[in-house]
Amino acid sequence: MTSFRKTPIYNQHVAMNAKLVPFSGWHMPVQYEGILAEHKVVRDVAGIFDVSHMGRFQITGRDAIEFINYITVNDVERLEPFCSQYTLACRENGGIIDDFLVYRLPDKILIVPNAGNSDKLLKWLQKIAISYEVEIQNLTEQTVLFALQGPKSELILNAITKEDLRKLTFQSFTETWIEGIKAKIFRTGYTGEDGFEIWCSAECGPELWSIILKSGIDRGLKACGLGARDTLRLEAGLALYGHEIDESINPIEAGLGWVVKFKKPKFIGRNSLLSIREKGLTRKLVALKVLERGIPRQGYDISYGGNCVGQITSGAIAPTLGYGIGTGYVPISLTEPGTILQINIRDKKIPAVIVKQPFYVGSRK
């Protein structure tokens, strides 16, 4: 019998009648009132997500910066303390092991890997760390992580936080107090909206969850599940591991070449990615707007001229937009915006046009 882990907020989810499902080894809420309602509240007001299933690693030691700079494609040395950056860890052949945020403090580095990759990434880091003077701590069980997202999130959180969050810019963070609970507040998120991710100790997690919900209830704040999180990130054009990216995909074809800092003299996968860039791509990730009724789903065939040219990596009816959207890899010759392709939806070839990402621009500053 498979055993699934529970976040420290599990009992609150049960009490709030959340629909709990297995996800990456955890019992997680997929929805409370419903995906559409939760999607809308994040776009219009604010929603809070328990994302404590995601990994939380702390790297300390003399070589912490050098070590993280070697195992990621972005440039950590460019980060000022209390700032963060999106990055990727790649294999030597350029395949993506995981994507995550790196947070730099004066004396340590924090990273937040995807839940499904957390154990794999930790073992990989520990193997490489033998050659560096660093210590890697897995703080996942000792902490919680919440995502408060939406245009009213600053107003809601600022009312209960010691520090004035209006001064906090996108991808910066602070260590402060929320109603007497010590917390790290990051101005980051995965919805396309303005918002924050909040990290505190596991023992304080349930109380902090209740404090934030109470602070926002009069303003319309609601708890949200992973279902809305997925449709929100898809509209915002944000990649999901296991869909748009994995170890068979490199950052350049995934449209993430902007993350790769080739001026760094050394990082894992650099030579392969340089070669890929110089030779040119054979395929690329595209965004598709469905032109008729139909919902694209992962794995559905994409065709052109009667021939299958790719598969959908993510797809849904976009709640904010009211039509079907999807992503998928197609040959480089077919990636120009305006190109009409077909998606095989329930044995019907439904036309879809390539559009620029993101599908929707939210309130993110």
Calculate helix-pair angle for 64-71, 118-129, nearest 10 degrees: 120
Q: What is the pLDDT of residue 2?
A: 65
CA distance 262 to 204: 42
3.20.20.105, 1.10.540.10, 2.40.30.110, 3.30.590.20: which CATH number matches 282-355? 2.40.30.110
Burial class (CB in 10 A: 0-12, 13-18, 19+), 65: middle
Which CATH number among 3.30.300.180, 3.40.50.1370, 1.20.200.10, 3.30.70.1400 corresponds to the domain 57-138? 3.30.70.1400
* Residue 57 backbone phi and psi in degrees, to 5: -115, 145
Structure tokens at 70: 């070697």
Please tell me the number of Cα atoms within 13 Å of 204 on its side-chain side. Answer: 18
pLDDT digits (tens, 9 = 90+) for 209-264: 999 999 999 999 999 999 999 999 999 999 999 999 999 999 999 999 999 999 99
Please, how many CA atoms are within 13 Å of residue 219, restricted to the half-sphere of its CB? 21
Over its length of 365 residues, how does the chain's per-residue pLDDT go in tens digits? 468 999 999 999 999 999 999 999 999 999 999 999 999 999 999 999 999 999 999 999 999 999 999 999 999 999 999 999 999 999 999 999 999 999 999 999 999 999 999 999 999 999 999 999 999 999 999 999 999 999 999 999 999 999 999 999 999 999 999 999 999 999 999 999 999 999 999 999 999 999 999 999 999 999 999 999 999 999 999 999 999 999 999 999 999 999 999 999 999 999 999 999 999 999 999 999 999 999 999 999 999 999 999 999 999 999 999 999 999 999 999 999 999 999 999 999 999 999 999 999 998 87
* DSSP per-residue letters across 229-278: HHHHHHHTT---BTTTBSTT--TTTTT-GGG--TTSS--TTHHHHHHHHH
Structure tokens at 293: 């009724």
Could you name the CATH architecture of 5-52+141-235? 2-Layer Sandwich (3.30)
What is the pLDDT, as a whole number, of residue 364?
85
Average pLDDT, the chain: 97
Q: Phi then psi for 40, rounded to 5 degrees?
A: -65, -40
Bridge-based pairing of strands 96-104 and 83-90 is: antiparallel
List the beta bridge partners of residue 200: 144
| Distance in angstroms (rounded) separating the CA atoms of residues 140 and 260 | 27
- 57-138 and 282-355: identical CATH topology: no
Instruction: Report yes or no: 66 and 262 within 8 Å, Cβ to Cβ.
Output: no
Q: Are 161 and 194 in contact (CB under 8 A)?
A: no
Angle between helix 35-44 and 226-235 (nearest 10): 50
CA distances from 59 to 81, 107, 266, 289 (A): 14, 9, 19, 42
pTM comes to 0.96
Domain boundaries, the chain: 5-52+141-235, 57-138, 282-355
